[in-house]
Structures are given as structure tokens and as C-alpha cells.
């Protein structure tokens, strides 16, 4: 029996047949890689993926899909004088488990990822549920470049010139009601486009969250680009969260849903390791992690012999965010 449902896909969104076929070929190859991997030899799926991805440019031109174009943005004083991490490093060393757990996998496995068309739905404690396209998000607020430090919980850091807009602007547009105490960010978990989602490594989809006052803090941004370009796929295209005073894993990527809640959301990493990852995850050199040193960090791009640099409280953003945590025991609320 065939159950028919009415399609809500507009014709322009439908992928042309030939592109779709090629996409399957790509997935098959990636699949064989996975099979071999699970057979115990761990031949990485990316080798298969890399071969398929070689035809990327060709495929893209045939797909003729409109590639996102970043509107004009203004420069800001944030991070003036910081030495930027190179574009190459920012886009080749990523933690993005949806595309694989090794640092170099996201750049390779995300090559065929389609960040457009894209809509983000707003749900939960809001006046009314609604959706917004990525194009409209671009127009929601003037875009600006902000150079932020990013500190990963694993003990390394980067300095990245994001292009984005204050998260507060998006929240204002979303019109949360008075019950909204927290904001939850839910990432895409597409088994076809994201090979990592097929592995039970984390509880997909990836969920992150902020307290509403944290989300409204002027430092919190939604990034839609970096280095003046639309956000590369491996960095969370088309839109990701950037909260520079928190560890990097708070920055949910490829966000498809924003939900306002009364209760504190249970985030993906809280579920994965409750004693290692807390809800707040503020950068804090005084609070130890069971695995990594948090009092110092390695700056990516500094070279083989640069050693470590001291990690700063709230990643050096105490002035902007410190007051939000006044009176809180940050050892308990890690």
C-alpha cells in the first residue's frame, strides 16, 4: 500500500536527478568505507569520501544550486590586535562529530553538504511557532565581523574572525513569552548528508542550550560566516552559535531549531559525560576537567615549540559576562 501525503516541497528545491544519482554514488562509497571500518580494519570512510569529493566542483556546477552569498558586513572593535588563526587551520581542524570524530574529517566529509535551502524553526515558550529561512536570517540584523578567541575543552584555542549578528536580535524576533528561561539549540542530524550521525557516538541530534540572559548577552552571536565568507560547511554552515566565554562545544552548528523552555535543557554532552561536561561550560582555569588541563592551552598555529599559554577566566571576557554569574558556585555549576 502506498500512503500518499501532500508534498510541501516547492519545485525549485527539488534536486536534479543526475545530481541525486551522483550523491548516492558518493554515499555508497562512503558506506563501503564504513563497512570496512566496522570490519575491524578501520579504513576510514573519508578515503572513499575523499575520492567522491574530488568531483565536488564539477558536481556543484552541474547542480547549479545558488550558493549562499554573504551580505555586506561592518567591522567591529572586538578582538582588535589579536593574531588570527589562519583560515586553513580554522577550516581543517574541527570538532564536528556529525561529520566524523577525527579533526580532519569534517572538512572532508562535509564537502557535499547543502546548507541551502535552510529554514530554522522557532518553538516552545514563544508567542507563536514560526520558521525563518537563512536568507531572511541574513536580513534580520546588520551583520558584523567579530574577532573572538575560541577555547576548546580539549585544551586548544583559536582566534576566529566570525561574521554574524547578536543572538539577542534573533531572540527578539522570536518573541519568547515570560515562561522562557532557557534557549535550546538543535542541530541538523541528517543521516544521508552527515556520516557521523549513523554512528551511535552521541545522542543525535546535537543539543546545546543557554540561560536566556546568557543568550541575550551582547557577546553571544549567531555566526553565518568567517573570514568574510559564508560559513564553511565544516564550521557549522549555514548558521552556528558562538559564545566565546564558554568552551567550544557550546557552539551548536547547523542549527535547525531554536526552542525556548522553562526548564534547563539537557544538552548532548551533559548526557554523554555528566561528570565531564556541565550546562554552563564556562571557560574556567580553576575548575579541573577529568581529562584535560584547563589552566593552560595550546594556541593553534603557534608552532611546534610555542608551548602553552595561560587560560583566562571566562576566556578573557569577564568584563562582559562575569556579572551574570555573580554569587554562583562555578565549581558546582561547571
Partner 1 sequence: MQAWIYAKTFRLALMLAFISKVPDRKQVTRLKVAVFSLCLIPLVRLVWLALHDDLSANPVEFVERSTGYWTLFMLLTTLSLSPVRLLTGRTWQLQFRRMLGLFMFFYACLHVTAYLWLDYSFIWPDIIKDIVKHPYVLVGAAAFMLSLPLAVTSSNLMIKLLRERWKKLHRLVYLIAVLGVLHFWWLVKKDIREPLLYALILAFLLLVRVYCKPKAKAASK
- Which positions ≥6 away from 186 have C-beta within 8 Å? 205, 206, 207, 252, 255, 256, 257, 258, 259
- Which residue in 291, 323, 331, 333 binds partner 1 (CB under 8 A)? 291
Rounded CA separation 332/13 (Å): 48
- Which residue in 42, 72, 80, 326 binds partner 1 (CB under 8 A)? 42
How many residues touch partner 1 (CB under 8 A)? 35
* Residue (of 330, 328, 244) closest to 288 by Cα position: 330
Buried b (16+ CB within 10 A) or exposed e, 254-290: bbbbbbbbeeebebbbbeeeeeebbbbbbbbbebebe
- Which residue in 288, 322, 323, 331 binds partner 1 (CB under 8 A)? 288
Stretch that binds partner 1, among 13-21, 99-107, 159-167, 229-237 (CB under 8 A): 99-107
Query: Can you name the residues that pair with 122 across neighbouring β-strands?
Result: 130, 258
Q: Write each residue from 45 to 74 as x if it is in contact with partner 1 (CB under 8 A), else as -, in one continuous string.
A: ------------------------------
* Residue among 217 and 267 whose Cβ is closer to partner 1: 267
- Which residue in 11, 81, 303, 327 binds partner 1 (CB under 8 A)? 303
CB 282 within 8 A of CB 314: yes
- Between residue 231 and residue 250, which ones bind partner 1 under the rule CB under 8 A? none
Three-class secondary structure of residue 213 per DSSP: helix
State how far the alpha carbon of 118 is from the alpha carbons of 13, 74, 98, 111, in Å. 10, 24, 17, 17
- Which residue in 1, 3, 9, 41 binds partner 1 (CB under 8 A)? 41
Query: Is 30 an interacting residue with respect to partner 1 (CB under 8 A)?
Result: no
Query: Is 104 an interacting residue with respect to partner 1 (CB under 8 A)?
Result: yes
State how far the alpha carbon of 290 is from the alpha carbons of 154, 224, 229, 284, in Å. 11, 33, 37, 14
- Between residue 178 and residue 217, which ones bind partner 1 under the rule CB under 8 A? 199, 201-202
Query: Is 92 an interacting residue with respect to partner 1 (CB under 8 A)?
Result: yes
Site for partner 1, rule CB under 8 A = 37, 40-44, 88-89, 92-93, 97, 101, 103-104, 154, 156, 199, 201-202, 272, 288, 290-293, 295-296, 298, 300-301, 303-305, 307-308
Amino acid at each position: 500500500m502506498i500512503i500518499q501525503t501532500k508534498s510541501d516541497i516547492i519545485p525549485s528545491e527539488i534536486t536534479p536527478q543526475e545530481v541525486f544519482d551522483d550523491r548516492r554514488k558518493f554515499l555508497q562509497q562512503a558506506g563501503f568505507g564504513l563497512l570496512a571500518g566496522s570490519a575491524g580494519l578501520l579504513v576510514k570512510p573519508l578515503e572513499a569520501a575523499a575520492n567522491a569529493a574530488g568531483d565536488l566542483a564539477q558536481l556543484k556546477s552541474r547542480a547549479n544550486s545558488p550558493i549562499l552569498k554573504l551580505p555586506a558586513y561592518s567591522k567591529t572593535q572586538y578582538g582588535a590586535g589579536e593574531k588570527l588563526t589562519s583560515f586553513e587551520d580554522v577550516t581543517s581542524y574541527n570538532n564536528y562529530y556529525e561529520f566524523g570524530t577525527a579533526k580532519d574529517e569534517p572538512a572532508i566529509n562535509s564537502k557535499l553538504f547543502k546548507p541551502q535551502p535552510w529554514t530554522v524553526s522557532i518553538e516552545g515558550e514563544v508567542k507563536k511557532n514560526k520558521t525563518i529561512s537563512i536568507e531572511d536570517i541574513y536580513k534580520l540584523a546588520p551583520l558584523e565581523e567579530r574577532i573572538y578567541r575560541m577555547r576548546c575543552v580539549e585544551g586548544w584555542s583559536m582566534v576566529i574572525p566570525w561574521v554574524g549578528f547578536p543572538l539577542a536580535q534573533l531572540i527578539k524576533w522570536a518573541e519568547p513569552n515570560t515562561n522562557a528561561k532557557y534557549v535550546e539549540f538543535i542541530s541538523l542530524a541528517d543521516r544521508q548528508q552527515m556520516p557521523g550521525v549513523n554512528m551511535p557516538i552521541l545522542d543525535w541530534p546535537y543539543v546545546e542550550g543557554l540561560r536566556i540572559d546568557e543568550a541575550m548577552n551582547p557577546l553571544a552571536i549567531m555566526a553565518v560566516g568567517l573570514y568574510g565568507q559564508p560559513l564553511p560547511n565544516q564550521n557549522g554552515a549555514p548558521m552556528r552559535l558562538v559564545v566565546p566565554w564558554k568552551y567550544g562545544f557550546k557552539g551548536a552548528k547547523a542549527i535547525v531549531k531554536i526552542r525556548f523552555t522553562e526548564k534547563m535543557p539537557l544538552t548532548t554532552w551533559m548526557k554523554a559525560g555528566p561528570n565531564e561536561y556541565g550546562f554552563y561550560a564556562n571557560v574556567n582555569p580553576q575548575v579541573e576537567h577529568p581529562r584535560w588541563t584547563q589552566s593552560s592551552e595550546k594556541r593553534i598555529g603557534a608552532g611546534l615549540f610555542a608551548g602553552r599559554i595561560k587560560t583566562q577566566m571566562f576566556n578573557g571576557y569577564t568584563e562582559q559576562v562575569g556579572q551574570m554569574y555573580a554569587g554562583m558556585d562555578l565549581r558546582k555549576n561547571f
